[in-house]
Structures are given as structure tokens and as C-alpha cells.
Structure 1
Amino acid sequence: MNIIENKTFDQERALYGSRNLTVRRCGFDGPADGESAFKECKNIAVENCFFNLRYPFWHDHGLAITGGEMTEKCRAALWYSDHVQITGLKMYGIKALRECSDVTVRGCDITSSEFGWSVRDITMEDTTAQSEYFMMRSENLTFRNVRFQGKYSFQYIKNAVFENCVFETKDAFWHGENITVRNSTIKGEYLAWYSRGLTLENCTIIGTQPLCYCKDLKLIRCEMVNTDLCFEKSEVEASITTPVVSIKNPLSGTICVPAVGEIIRDDSKSKGKIIVCNYALPCVVSA
């Protein structure tokens, strides 16, 4: 591996087409305001570098970024790249990750609108993120111990597993397919409308009008806090461990709940069963 250390680059395509290169403690900044520092590179290791210019990593193959910072000016930092490992990086530019595959993100701090669109095969662990339209249309996601805040997250994603996560979000998982969420907290409005094949296990769900218009929806030992107008027109099998404010017109399936403030039935197609059971008394099935 060739090694570059303690240098500053500001020219256009500063290290274009490099191969088998390690770059340490370098800065990509300066008056020339050049773009695309590492475009079309292969087998690149970047350690504790500072990025203040646009589009540094496009069309790269085999990339490891450890430590360092991408500022707000470092927009669209990683696009069209594969076999990417990102560890301990501050990612603060808009659209930081897009159209990439085989990506691992660990121990990072992300503030980036429109982060992670159309990414395939991504693992994210021990990371905090703030974004809007986070991970839209991405596939094959594995998230562990991720804290996220922002609107419109995980829309149109496919094939995902989330464990021990905290999401404070709105309109999460809309139109998502084949998603499992375990031991996590999801706070926000209008959770997972129009999703297909969503399973929530040992989760806490907080907020108004969750889980409507869903197909093949499953809740296993979940808590629901301040949730009203739940499950409208959804195909659902649910075991809920806390009282629910209101349930409206579940399409089919069975919902087991210790108490429900209001059951709304004003749609003749609503055939879902609601079983109210406080564990000390026999269950009561609502027609």
C-alpha cells in the first residue's frame, strides 16, 4: 500500500483513479474548491481525514474510512460505491450515502438529509443519525443499537432487521416490505402505513394512528403508548401488553389487548377480532 500523510488537497479529482492507497490525517479543503477527490478508486483506506469539499467518494470499490469528519460542505460524499466500511466518522453533509452496496457503518455520528437512498446490503451499528427520508428505497438492512431522529424514515425499504434501536420519527416504514423490529422503541405519527410483512417483537410504539392499511402485520408482546385509531384496514395478528386509546376498523386477524378506550366499527368490511383480556378475567371478544 502506498501511504500519504499530513497533506492538504483542494484541486479537482486530487487522487482520481488511485489504487491500493492509505491516506492519513489529510485535509480536503482549500481555495481551489475541487470536487471528486477519490473518484474511480480501488482499495483505499482513509484514516482521520477532514473533508470540506464535495463528492469525495464516487464509483469506488473497496473503501475503508476510519475516524475524521465530513462537514456540511461535503455533500453527496459516497455514491455508486461498493465494499465500504465506515467507522467512527462524523458525516454532516446532505445526501452522504446513496446507490452503494455492501456497506458497514459503525460508531458514526450522522446528520445528513436524504441519507442512504437505494443502498443494498447495509449494516449499521452503534450509530446516531438525524435525517429526513432516511434510507429510502434501500434493501437488505441490518441495524443494531441505532438511535435515529427525523421525518419520513425507511420508506419503501425491503428485507430489514432492526434490533435494540430507538427511532423518533414520522411516517416510518411506509410501503416497507419484509421488516422485523425487535426490542426497540418507535415514537412518531402514522407508523408503517401500507407496509407488507412487518413484524414488531417486544417493541414500544408511541404516537397517533399507527399501523394502518398494513398487510401481514404481526405484533408480539408489544407496548403501545398514547396510540389512537390503530390498525385501520390492516390485516393484523397482535398481542399487546398495555392499554390502547382506540382501535379502528381492523380488516382481519386478531388483536389481544388488556384494555382499549374505544373500539370504532363504522366499516362493514372490518372483520378483525379484538380480544380484551386483563389476565385476571376471561377474554372478551369484540365482534
Structure 2
Amino acid sequence: MKLIEDQTFDIERAFYGEKDLCLKNCSFDGPADGESALKECSNIEIENTFCNLRYPFWHDHHLKIHRSELTALCRAALWYSDHLEIIKTKLHGIKALRECSDVTMADCDIISAEFGWSVRNLNMRCCTAESEYFMLRSENLYLSDVRFRGKYSFQYTRDITIENCVLDTKDAFWHASNVTVKNSTIRGEYLAWYSDSLTLVHCKIIGTQPFCYCKNLRLIDCEMVDADLCFERSEVNATITTPVVSIKNPLSGTIYAPSVGEIIMDDKNAKGKVSCSGKTKNKPCA
């Protein structure tokens, strides 16, 4: 593998089509403002490198990026690439990861609107992320110990496992399918509408109007805080460990909770049951 150290590059396509290349302590920056520094490359290692120019890693194969910085000016950094390993790296440019596959990320700091669109086979651990439309239309994802903040996350995603995460997000998991979330906190409004086969285990759910129009929804020993008008027109089986503000017109299934502030059943098609161990206003539990 060819080693290049302590150099700065700013020309267009500085390493176009290169193979078996290691860059250490380098910078992609400068007045020439060249794009696409490492396009169409394979077997590339990037370490402690500063990327301040657009579109550096497109159509790359077997790429490692360690301890590096992709700035806010490094737009659309990783597209159409596969077999990526990104460790202890800042990704601060918009649209940082798109249409990539077989991606491993750990200990990264992500501030990137529209991050992770149409990605396949992603393993993300111990990262922080701020984004909008995070992971749109992506599939086969595993997230562990991730702290996320932003709106409209995980829409139209499928085949996801999330563990030990904190998600501060609005309109998350809309139209998502085959998702399992364990031991996590999810804060946000209108959670998981129109989802199919969503399972939450030992989770804390905070916010208004969660889980409406869902199919095959399961909650196992979950907490619900400030959650009102829950489960409208959803197929749901849930065991909730905390009082619920209100439940509205569950379509089918059974919801177990200590108590419910209000049960609203004014839709003739709503056949779901609510079973309580404590007091409930307006209507008795089944």
C-alpha cells in the first residue's frame, strides 16, 4: 500500500481511480477548490485527515476513514460506495452518507442534514447524530448506544434493530417496517404512524399522539410519558408499565396499563380492548 503523509491537496480529482493508498495527516483544502478527490477508488485508508472540499468519496470500494474530520463544506462526502469503516470521525457536511452499503461506524460525531438515505447494511455504535430525515428509505440497520436529535427520522426504513439509544425526534418511523427497539428512550410527537411490525421492548416513549394507524404493533413493558390520543386505528398488543394520558380508538388487540386518563371509543370499527389494574376515567377497562 502506498503511503502519503503530511500533504495538502486542492486540485480536482486529486486521486481519481487510485488503489491501495494510505493517506495520513493530510488535508483536502485550498484555493483550487477541487472536487471529488478520491472518486472511483478502492482499498483506501484515510487517517487523521482534514476534508474541506466537496464530494471526496464517491463510487469507492473498501474505504477506511479513521480519526478524521469532514467539515460543513465537505458536502455529500460518501455516495455510491461500499464496504466502509468510519471510526472516530466528524461528519459535518450535508448529505454525508447516501446510497452506500456495508457500512460500519463507531465513535463518530455526525451533524448532517439528510444523512444516510438509501443505505443498506449499516452498523452504527457509540455515535452522536443531528440530522433531518435521518436514514430515509434505508434497510438492514443496527444502532447501539446512539444519541440522535432531529426531525423525521427512519421514515420508510425496514429491517432495523435499535438498542440502548436515545432518540429525540419527531415523526420517527413513519411507514417503517420490521423494526425492533430495545432499552431505549424515544422523545417526540406522532411516533411511528403507518408503521408495520414495530416492536418496542423496555422502552420509554415521550410525546403526543404516538402509534396511530400502525399494523402489527407490539409494546413489551414500556413506559409512556405525556402520551395522549395513543393507538388511533392501530392493530396493537401492548403492556405499558405507567399510566397513560389517553387512548383513542385502537382498531384491534389488547392494551394493558395501570390506568388511563381517558379512553375514547367513538369509531364503530375500533374493537381494541384496554385492560387496567387501576382507575380509569370515562369508560371502564375491559
* TM-score grouping bracket, smaller chain normalisation: over 0.9
- CA deviations on 1:231-257 (whole Å, 9 max, x unpaired) are 000000000000000000000000000
Alignment coverage as a number of residue pairs: 283
Query: Do the aligned residues in 2 keep the contact of 1:273 with 1:285 (CA within 8 Å)?
Result: no
Q: Partner of 1:28 in structure 2? A: 28
Cα drift, residue 278 of structure 1: 4.0
- CA deviations on 1:192-233 (whole Å, 9 max, x unpaired) are 000000000000000000000000000000000000000000
Amino acid at match of 1:170: K
Q: How far apart in 2 are the matches of 1:90 and 1:166?
A: 19
- CA deviations on 1:158-195 (whole Å, 9 max, x unpaired) are 00000000000000000000000000000000000000
Query: Do the aligned residues in 2 keep the contact of 1:24 with 1:49 (CA within 8 Å)?
Result: yes
Q: Partner of 2:41 in structure 1? A: 41
Q: Partner of 1:84 in structure 2? A: 84
Query: Which sections of structure 1, spanning at least 5 residues, go unmatched?
Result: none
1:22-171 alignment to 2 at 5 Å? 22-171=22-171
Q: State yes or no: 1:205 paired with 2:205.
A: yes
Amino acid at match of 2:52: N
What percent identity do the matched residue pairs reach? 66
Q: Secondary structure at the match of 1:180?
A: strand
Cα drift, residue 68 of structure 1: 1.4
Query: What TM-score does the superposition give when structure 1 sets the normalisation length?
Result: 0.97
Q: State yes or no: 1:243 paired with 2:257.
A: no
- CA deviations on 1:99-127 (whole Å, 9 max, x unpaired) are 00000010000000000000000000000
Q: How far apart in 2 are the matches of 1:195 and 1:8?
A: 48
Q: Secondary structure at the match of 1:238?
A: strand
Q: Partner of 1:286 in structure 2? A: 285
Q: How far apart in 1 are the matches of 2:233 and 2:240?
A: 18
Amino acid at match of 2:226: N
Amino acid at match of 2:210: P
Q: Secondary structure at the match of 1:255?
A: strand
Cα drift, residue 285 of structure 1: 6.6
Query: Do the aligned residues in 2 keep the contact of 1:9 with 1:29 (CA within 8 Å)?
Result: yes
- Segments ≥4 residues shifted beyond 6 Å: none
Q: How far apart in 1 are the matches of 2:104 and 2:136?
A: 17
Q: How far apart in 2 are the matches of 1:168 and 1:270?
A: 30
Query: What TM-score does the superposition give when structure 2 sets the normalisation length?
Result: 0.98
- CA deviations on 1:73-111 (whole Å, 9 max, x unpaired) are 000000000000000000100000000000001000000
Q: Partner of 1:265 in structure 2? A: 265
Q: Partner of 1:188 in structure 2? A: 188
Amino acid at match of 2:102: D
Query: Which sections of structure 2, spanning at least 5 residues, go unmatched?
Result: none
